[in-house]
Amino acid sequence: MNIGIDLGGSHVGIGVVDNNGKILEKFEKDFSVEEKKELKNVAIQYIVDIVNKLKEKYEFSKVGLGVAGTVSNGVILKSVNLGIKNFDMKKELEKRIGVNVIIKNDAKCAAIAEYEFGDLKLYDNILFLTLGTGIGGAYIYEGKLLEGTNYDGFEYGHMIINKNGIECKCGKRGCFERYGSILSFKNKVIQKLNLSHDIPGPELRLVIDNSKEEIKDIINEYIDDLSIGISNLVNIFEPDCIVIGGGFARYDYLLLDKLHEKLLQSNLLFNNRNEIIIKTAKLGNDAGIIGASKLV
């Protein structure tokens, strides 16, 4: 039994996970618009409160944390969606919860979980993306998670797909995540339908289901932008399989088939394919929690 934590720019999940990757108990929090202004403090306090509560019920000496951004030796060097830079998250959490904390990029954690407990061992080369507040990424080559030497790398979200595009929180313009993240899609829907940015996910999906014609242009534009970014990655890696996790998993019923069709029927791929395997992460939005639990 291990504790895994998945911290993103809009959501934090904490789970008690057994050795088979099954979540035995889970706690989740979506950050409100107001809370995002003090996201670091809000997230840390929530993690501290829940982990200290779990210590009363379970015995554990380590906690795994997957966090959006670049991490080195427990220090979050840069996380644009969390608004954190050069912060020793490991030291801060260990001081307040009294157990060892191991930290890794959240998308890499999710990829580890999907490979270990999903059905990805059927494939040799796997392109993995998490579409949430931003876009995270990982690549598995012949069963091994590839990582950079100085930094983790595979920051697909900050690949530029429009050189004169929208300004990103990272300071560049036209980053893929400003067009292909699920947050980008939701924000456009919320704006068009004049909804609250704090609308709960299940309620938003119900509104979307009842407004498909009204937001058809947003769906089509999102699929176009997503296809550009993913096709660039396919042209580089030529993967056997593409897996998409994160918040996208909750909207796959609406978007996945359209994305598959667009990739095959457009002229975006350098090498023509009769088929492309693209699927939603089997573990859904729980992959980050499960993968983080494997760090300990």
pLDDT of 86 higher than 90: yes
Q: What is the pLDDT of residue 192?
A: 96
Residue 150 pLDDT class (50, 70, 90 cuts): confident
Report the C-alpha gap between 45 and 202 in whole angstroms.
26
Q: What is the pLDDT of residue 168?
A: 94
**Strand pairing of 2-7 and 11-17?**
antiparallel
Which residues fall within 8 angstroms of residue 125, CB to CB, at 6 or more apart? Answer: 139, 140, 141, 142, 237, 238, 239, 240, 241
Mean of the per-residue pLDDT values of the chain: 93
Report the C-alpha gap between 239 and 191 in whole angstroms.
36
Q: What is the pLDDT of residue 179?
A: 97
Tell me the domains of the chain and their CATH numbers: 2-109+287-293 (3.30.420.40), 121-282 (3.30.420.40)
> How confident is the model over 174-203, as pLDDT tens digits?
999 999 999 999 999 999 999 999 999 899
> How confident is the model over 20-72, as pLDDT tens digits?
999 999 999 999 989 988 999 999 999 999 999 999 999 888 999 999 889 99
**Strand pairing of 84-88 and 75-79?**
antiparallel
> How confident is the model over 239-287, as pLDDT tens digits?
999 999 988 999 999 999 999 999 999 999 999 888 999 999 999 889 9
**Percent of the chain with pLDDT strictly greater than 90:** 82
Residues in the chain: 296
* Contact assessment for residue 57 and residue 86, using Cβ atoms and an 8 Å cutoff: no
**Percent of the chain with pLDDT strictly greater than 70:** 100
Residue 107 pLDDT class (50, 70, 90 cuts): very high
**Strand pairing of 241-245 and 125-131?**
parallel
Specify the amino acid at residue 191: Q
Read off the pTM: 0.90
Residue 77 pLDDT class (50, 70, 90 cuts): very high
Report the C-alpha gap between 121 and 243 in whole angstroms.
12
* Contact assessment for residue 152 and residue 134, using Cβ atoms and an 8 Å cutoff: no
Average pLDDT over residues 143-172: 92
Specify the amino acid at residue 159: M
Q: What is the pLDDT of residue 9?
A: 87
CA dist list (Å): 190 to 130, 194, 249:
21, 6, 19
Q: What is the pLDDT of residue 71?
A: 92
Q: What is the pLDDT of residue 152?
A: 84
